[in-house]
Structure 1
Amino acid sequence: MFTLPSPAKLNLFLHINGRRPDGYHELQTLFQFLDYGDDVGFSPRDDDRILLDPALPGVPDRDNLILLAALALRRTVDQPLCGVNLSLTKRLPMGGGLGGGSSNAATTLLGLNRLWQLGRSCEELAELGLQLGADVPVFVRGFAAWGEGIGEKLTPAEPPEIWYLVLKPDCNISTGLIFSEQGLTRDTPRIKIAPAFEGDASRYRNDCEDVVCRLYPEVKRSLDWLAQFGPARLTGTGACIFGRFPTESKAQKVWASRPSGITGFVARGVNLSPLHKKLTELK
């Protein structure tokens, strides 16, 4: 029996370069992990059943990425495998743009690869994870990355490992709704990797931010408040927003002064996923 972290990610910027014929959008983004997230527990069973307890409220089993990841991996194996009890300690808000579901799926793939002793490479698991969601590969590979395509084309990156204050306004945002909005910016010119790495990601933007703020006034209010203390930005398609701070104490000071009714946390940006760090310790 063992437990693995399922960390959050931030999109330090998110540019939308166009829409593909299949409806997906071409993106450029910079992913970084946080030392904060969910936990997924793994315990083998004497039968072949795969069970998740507790169930995720409001998410039926057929849509739960943890169970979908487990079943997808088991379908790639021709030999009998033991069942597993999966447990989820949920800290990341749903619909927050922090990649919680994708992270849970990646942790499940890597955890079951270890439990079942399959010996699959990160590349193989990332390819399988892409069938579950565009953000799953970055969590499987486990390094901060420049992302292109629909977010699955990844180049390792090393953004500064600074502190972030992450706020979650009281709303849940549908990624599909945001990407279907007519007013969404879809023609941001592509930038080259080298200048983006050499520069400060705060120079760039999140192309979803204007649409999200128009549709969800609570996000705009939180963003305006956090912007008093420095650059603030939406992550992914929201609803979470984040501000950058050079030290934990400065981030905690702002967190302590937040308006009532806003949840969130302070965490450090890390370029090696806590999941991969833990897997290395377990070997």
Structure 2
Amino acid sequence: MTLFHETGWAKINLALHVRARRADGYHEIETLFAFVDGGDAIAAAVSDADHLTIDGPFGEGLSAGADNLVVRVLALLRDRYGAARVPPLAVRLTKTLPVAAGIGGGSADAAAMARLVRVHFLPDVGEAALARLVGTLGADIAACVASATCLGVGTGAQLSPVPELALGGTPVLLVNPRAPVATGPVFAAWDGTDRGPLFTGADLRAQLFAARNDLQRPAIAQCPAIADILTELGGLGPWLARMSGSGATCFALFDAPAERDAAAATLAVRHPGWWQMAGVLR
């Protein structure tokens, strides 16, 4: 039996500016996506029927039924390209990323499933076409297909490259208080104030410092531990520390791996209950 493998790379929002609340209930945003070199694992093999098994430290209680985005991606691709090209798959999803955490989660897993199918069964399908198709299942999925630094506008699904943000290899530390934060209520609690577009200066660090996450304040109101994490991270020497997405995960960017690792070790002693993942940006 041949096993195919993919990774649902953790997503972070280097910045997330909410510009307007739309009539359809969604929001106009501007966000800088980046991705970490670690995440959930997918293994799949051709089978008699689609079947999803979920394990891993954050797998308990997750639905493996037709509502799971991994299963929905398979169904969507089969509907679009035909059962002869997209065979039934037995899939194992190993959840190493916390759920409802602002770092991709189900969107990253859906994108990983789509990449796996494309590589092994639909090699003639372009990445952009794949992203457009599976992106209809969720706003972040399109960005997660390429899992590369990019600018997202609209609902976050209109993507463009940002080559000036040459961040590949930057040491990063993700920290989560092991408290889920639902995206919908955080967006609903946004105060409706447009605080302006993403800064477009030439200096990378100035650009990121001038940016913000407009969901940080409403997320902290729901999960005060986010403020504690940001305070702790800010005192450990990163050049940027911010909340990702709608929370509760926060990230810190460092100049050197040793600085990141020292910060991780310090946090492990001070807050052994917090989840951490150390890596570099892809």
TM-score greater than 0.5 by the shorter chain: yes
Q: 2:136 aligns with which of 131, 134, 142?
A: 131
Instruction: Report the equivalent of 2:185.
Output: 177
Aligned to 2:243: 234
What corresponds to 2:16 in structure 1?
A: 14
TM-score, structure 2 length as denominator? 0.88
Q: 1:269 maps to what in 2? A: 281
SS in structure 1 of the partner of residue 90 of structure 2: strand
1:206 aligns with 2:217: no
User: What does 1:35-184 correspond to in 2, within 5 Å?
Assistant: 35-45=37-47, 47=48, 49-54=49-54, 56-60=59-63, 61-80=65-84, 81-117=86-122, 119-158=124-163, 159=165, 160-161=167-168, 162-181=170-189, 183-184=190-191
Deviation at 1:34, TM superposition (A): 0.6
Are residues 90 and 147 of structure 1, via their aligned partners in 2, closer, same or farther at CA, if it must alter by over 3 Å? Answer: same
In the TM superposition, residue 28 of structure 1 has moved relative to its aligned partner by 0.7
Question: Runs of 5+ in structure 2 lacking a partner?
Answer: none
CA distance in 2, matches of 1:110, 1:196: 34
Contact kept in structure 2, 1:184 and 1:207, CA below 8 Å: no
Q: Give the CA deviation at 1:239.
A: 0.6
Q: Which amino acid counterpart does residue 268 of structure 1 have in structure 2?
A: V
* Secondary structure of 1:38 counterpart: strand
C-alpha distance in 1, partners of 2:183/2:33?
17
Question: Over residues 185-240 of structure 1, what are the superposed CA-to-partner deviations in whole Å (9 max), with x where a residue is unaligned?
Answer: 54122246565868431321100111111221111111111121244210000110
Cα displacement (A) at 1:148 = 0.8
Identity of aligned residues (%): 28
- 2:36 corresponding residue in structure 1: 34
Distance 2:219 2:241 in 1: 14
**Paired residues of 1:6 and 1:40 also in contact (CA < 8 A):** yes
Contact 1:178 1:184 in 2 (8 A): no
Is 2:252 aligned against 1:243?
yes
TM superposition shift of 1:92: 1.0
Distance of aligned partners of 1:266 and 1:118 in 2 relative to their CA distance in 1, 3 Å threshold: closer
Shift of 1:82: 2.5
Structural RMSD (CA)? 2.0
Is the partner of 1:95 in helix, strand or coil? coil
Q: Deviations over 1:102-154 (max 9, x none)?
A: 11101111211233236221122111122211000111134210111111111
Contact 2:198 2:211 in 1 (8 A): no
1:53 counterpart letter in structure 2: T
User: What is the alpha-carbon distance in structure 1 between the residues aligned to residue 203 and residue 185 of structure 2?
Assistant: 29
CA contact under 8 A between 2:34 and 2:147: conserved in structure 1? Answer: no
> What secondary structure sits across from 1:43 in the alignment?
strand
Deviations 1:20-60 (A, max 9, x none): 11111111111111111111112112x2x111123643232
Structure 1: distance between partners of 2:9 and 2:147: 10
The answer on whether the counterparts of 1:185 and 1:208 sit within 8 Å (CA) in structure 2 is no
State how far apart, in whole Å, the 2-side matches of 1:207 and 1:196 are: 22
Query: Normalised by the size of structure 1, how large is the TM-score?
Result: 0.88
- Classify 1:228/1:79 alpha carbon distance in 2 versus 1 (closer, same or farther; 3 Å): closer
What's the CA shift for 1:63? Answer: 2.5
CA distance in structure 2 between the aligned counterparts of 1:21 and 1:130, rounded to whole angstroms:
20
Q: What's 1:277 paired with?
A: none
Distance 1:147 1:196 in 2: 20
